[in-house]
């Protein structure tokens, strides 16, 4: 595997039971490097690890708070192998790579294979994944945008704050659930909770 920009590497594999369940190409990567973070948080590839939970492929795929339980469009066979700095998830479905937009729960095709995905990340991660290198995240953190990017008022005006990954994932899943039936261009009202 030839990936540049690795700023964090997962510890040795301690969840060997999950390995036979992953696709061969992901198995090969995890055998070489048990998950990693690129460019201080721009992309995080999960590992065959029991802990920490934010790095555990098992927790994301089969755990209590798995993406299958959080998002109705995610199938139990989808492997949530990676996430970008904003918490969008990358799934392996039948060999292809899909992007789960965490704020809305929508899924779109992204790459024909894991090899294609990693090649495009290596070529131009910023354009391909729409990420940046300005914010340096600690392992286990994601950026929380407020207002969320899916709102018209967001975009360049959004404030970005490093937050523990589990909190960002929970916030996005709850947001996606609440706006699921709001049509494009529809209005929502956000009420802060004390």
Q: What does the block give as tokens for 130? A: 């729409």
- Domain assignment present for 191: no
- Domain assignment present for 187: no
Predicted confidence at residue 154, as pLDDT, reads: 63
Total number of domains constituting the chain: 1
- Domain assignment present for 190: no
- Domain assignment present for 69: yes
pLDDT of 1 higher than 60: yes
- The C-alpha atoms of residue 102 and residue 74 are separated, in whole angstroms, by 11
Predicted confidence at residue 183, as pLDDT, reads: 60
Predicted confidence at residue 2, as pLDDT, reads: 77
- Domain assignment present for 12: yes
- Domain assignment present for 184: no
**Residue 81 belongs to what domain range?**
6-179
Predicted confidence at residue 104, as pLDDT, reads: 95
Q: Is the peptide bond before 147 cis (omega within 30 degrees of 0)?
A: yes
Predicted confidence at residue 102, as pLDDT, reads: 97
- The C-alpha atoms of residue 86 and residue 161 are separated, in whole angstroms, by 10
- Domain assignment present for 76: yes
3-state secondary structure at position 109:
strand
Give how far the C-alpha of residue 186 lies from the chain's centroid of Cα atoms, to the nearest Å. 26
pLDDT of 132 higher than 60: yes
- In order of 52, 81, 117, 125, 130, the CA distances from 161 in angstroms are 21, 23, 27, 21, 17
- Domain assignment present for 193: no
Are β-strands 96-100 and 107-111 bridged in parallel, bridged antiparallel, or unpaired?
Answer: antiparallel
């Amino acid at each position: 595997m030839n990936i540049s920009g690795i700023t964090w590497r997962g510890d040795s594999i301690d969840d060997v039971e999950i390995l036979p369940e992953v696709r061969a190409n992901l198995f090969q990567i995890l055998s070489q490097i048990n998950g990693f973070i690129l460019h201080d948080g721009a992309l995080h590839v999960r590992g065959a690890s029991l802990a920490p939970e934010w790095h555990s492929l098992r927790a994301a795929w089969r755990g209590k708070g798995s993406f299958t339980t959080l998002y109705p469009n995610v199938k139990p066979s989808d492997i949530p192998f990676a996430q970008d700095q904003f918490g969008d998830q990358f799934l392996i479905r039948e060999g292809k790579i899909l992007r789960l937009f965490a704020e809305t729960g929508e899924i779109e095709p992204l790459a024909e294979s894991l090899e294609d995905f990693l090649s495009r990340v290596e070529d131009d991660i910023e354009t391909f994944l729409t990420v940046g290198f300005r914010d340096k995240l600690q392992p286990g953190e994601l950026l929380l945008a407020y207002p969320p990017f899916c709102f018209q008022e967001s975009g360049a005006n959004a404030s970005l704050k490093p937050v523990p990954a589990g909190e960002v994932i929970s916030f996005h899943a709850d947001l996606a659930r609440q706006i699921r039936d709001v049509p494009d261009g529809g209005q929502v009202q956000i009420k802060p909770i004390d």
